Structure 1
């Protein structure tokens, strides 16, 4: 009888050890940003005071606040009090309600086959919409930033910025190949002799796993002009991202970014500095997207359009075909004050190699493009805006991935999806070390 009890105890011990090991393995790929945040006792009162002053500048007094189920606080801020207008170049800026003209569609209406396909690919929305509350007209929804949000950043200067090292001696004709800085990409890009005034794509939305809190995974459109090897690159960016450092969780979120000096001092994510002017009272930049795509299950995507208003020169962002989100004023830019020279679509991750190997942070769905629909993430219906303010389907793209054993990309075309591509990967694996 004692032998049976001993064996039973050993079995329980074995089960317990397996359970603990499984928890530890989960912890590697499901990082908790809360654990990374410094406790307030570790931060000097002077630094806390500086951070609080900064938060007071970007967290504008709201008309009222909406509590999101994911823990976010969405402040309804009067449109004319939003952070953008604190920018020195925008002190006397008059907010543009809408662009004078929208980009014209080129080609015929979508066929029934395309409409049927689109009905399967339902549009994603935002988590704070769950209770049905929206900000009133005349206000814009802004995600409130906290002391913990700033403490997760490397410094107050780095808060809300995408830090990238562009080496001046790195002469290459391939755009944005910055793998040496820890950033890895799987992108499609177009470079033409014609001037570019915008771009559009429909982007599959997933929730890639992040290994380290200071890593991220994003899927976006880049509108670019200037030098890739100099300090004057202008970039306008929008898409979805998972960034525990920036948001304190692992949820995919709608985001924007801009810079006019190669990511050095100007620009930021979302509304974390003055610059981007929001006009929509129903969409919060930086808020979580819901629902999300599942492996071999329902697929959800968002359509993003960025284009330059030919009358006033501001760069507008839209969701879907008709929803205006806001704009980047022309005053923010040098090269993009005129036109863009390059458009990129695709994914980007940060690989810190914190464990002495390649990160397990995923790109897209975390699966390679060869797996196809429902398994790999996609961009579809790639278009650019030409000098006639017309949306033109992209006929040809160049694809680029720094390390195809970690993250890859495969492009193709069809009647329904136009030019499209699958992209992404799991990061660390037997062929990616």
Structure 2
């Protein structure tokens, strides 16, 4: 009877939290037992702070000792040899030029960042924990073709081939703020995958994850059956003491305006098999250690995706993607895009991605126009793809 009670009580608590939730902001009435349970979880997640920084968009970040950050709660990282001055050992033999209108180092924190030897980690709140219980399953297990609900993609990808060997990929994405409600989300991301393992980076509007409808920087990984956003669970090792995950991009594109706001990003495998996240081409944010993966542990990636992804709960109409309009006569000032699409081969050579089939989960709601040889500026060509929907001009 005692064993039965131990198994049932946590389930009942989860059910209560789900059924009692009044909205995506996590407003609900909690019993003393539930309050204590959440407080205990918060103490485990929020590490001691050397310094606390209030970001200009309102979130609180704790400057946590590098060695005490959440990543090292992962069972496979207990006996690591990582250190704060780590840099990726990348052998990139060709760089793809890009001209971002976002000064990435100036969008994060108003101060000088965290002291040397510490890294900024977003402080988790009670509302964050409550909303997490309403997060949908991972993309990789939830791309189902239902009448309504689930994830939908509008992407270009590498050809399906079991012999593919990719050591990384990159892109420059235009920043938008598609309108979503409730448990919907809308994102643009670069995704690298092999088997059940994958890593992603990009921007997303996600009230369930963030508690607001702002455009934010995000990362995601899946290792086998486990998946996680940002630093909400152990896995991603933060190395940069100035750049933060979850940042809000206050400058986003508006249809018909003559200014593009962009984010430059890449994921690259180093000589030790770790998968590094870089922004503005060579600015390291951190890495996913090869130890936490199986398929991506000591091997190269097999698939790459560039483009948009949305989610809607069953029975709820699908939200806008990108600019919210279907690209017809592609125009960088009207349509969402990903440009400078690149990949690195198993020798570390960075190349323009050219053979990229289009993939659409819904050919009615969302469209993709792929231009492998777009003249971005006079005389300079690069790969660009336009995506979006569901509205029409």
Looking at structure 1, the residues matched to 240 and 285 of structure 2 have their Cα atoms a distance apart, in angstroms, of 5
- TM-score (normalised: structure 1): 0.77
1:125 to 100, 104, 117: 104
Looking at structure 2, the residues matched to 153 and 411 of structure 1 have their Cα atoms a distance apart, in angstroms, of 35
* Paired position in structure 2 for 1:178: 144
* Paired position in structure 1 for 2:116: 137
The structure with the larger Rg is 1
CA RMSD of aligned residues (A): 2.4
* Paired position in structure 1 for 2:357: 398
Looking at structure 2, the residues matched to 289 and 248 of structure 1 have their Cα atoms a distance apart, in angstroms, of 15
Q: Is the 2:194–2:302 Cα contact (8 Å) retained in structure 1?
A: yes
1:425 to 380, 383, 389: 389
- TM-score (normalised: structure 2): 0.85
* Paired position in structure 1 for 2:4: none
Deviation at 1:162, TM superposition (A): 4.5
Are 2:45 and 1:76 aligned? no
Deviation at 1:426, TM superposition (A): 3.3
Any idea what SS the aligned residue of 1:36 has? coil
* Paired position in structure 2 for 1:148: 127
1:235 to 166, 175, 198: 198
Question: CA 1:319 to 1:164, structure 2 compared with 1: closer, same or farther past 3 Å?
Answer: closer
Of Structure 1 and Structure 2, which has the larger fraction of its residues in helix? 1
Looking at structure 2, the residues matched to 235 and 70 of structure 1 have their Cα atoms a distance apart, in angstroms, of 29
Structure 2 gaps, min length 5: 1-20
- Could you give the per-residue CA deviations for residues 118-146 of structure 1, whole angstroms, max 9, x where no partner exists? 3xx51253786463442122111111111
* Farther-moved stretch of structure 1 (93-102 vs 296-305): 93-102
* Paired position in structure 1 for 2:186: 217
Q: Is the 1:124–1:292 Cα contact (8 Å) retained in structure 2?
A: no
1:279 to 228, 239, 246: 239
Structure 1 gaps, min length 5: 1-32, 168-176, 227-232
Deviation at 1:43, TM superposition (A): 2.0
Looking at structure 2, the residues matched to 124 and 206 of structure 1 have their Cα atoms a distance apart, in angstroms, of 16
Q: Is the 2:169–2:343 Cα contact (8 Å) retained in structure 1?
A: yes
Any idea what SS the aligned residue of 1:52 has? helix
Looking at structure 2, the residues matched to 52 and 130 of structure 1 have their Cα atoms a distance apart, in angstroms, of 27
Q: Is the 1:208–1:364 Cα contact (8 Å) retained in structure 2?
A: yes
Question: CA 1:141 to 1:286, structure 2 compared with 1: closer, same or farther past 3 Å?
Answer: same
* Paired position in structure 2 for 1:290: 250
Are 2:347 and 1:380 aligned? no
Are 2:312 and 1:351 aligned? yes
* Paired position in structure 1 for 2:302: 341
1:244 to 200, 204, 207: 207
Looking at structure 2, the residues matched to 362 and 279 of structure 1 have their Cα atoms a distance apart, in angstroms, of 34
* Paired position in structure 2 for 1:267: 227
Q: Is the 2:109–2:242 Cα contact (8 Å) retained in structure 1?
A: no
Q: Is the 1:140–1:280 Cα contact (8 Å) retained in structure 2?
A: yes
Deviation at 1:154, TM superposition (A): 3.0
Q: Is the 1:408–1:424 Cα contact (8 Å) retained in structure 2?
A: yes
Looking at structure 2, the residues matched to 315 and 304 of structure 1 have their Cα atoms a distance apart, in angstroms, of 13
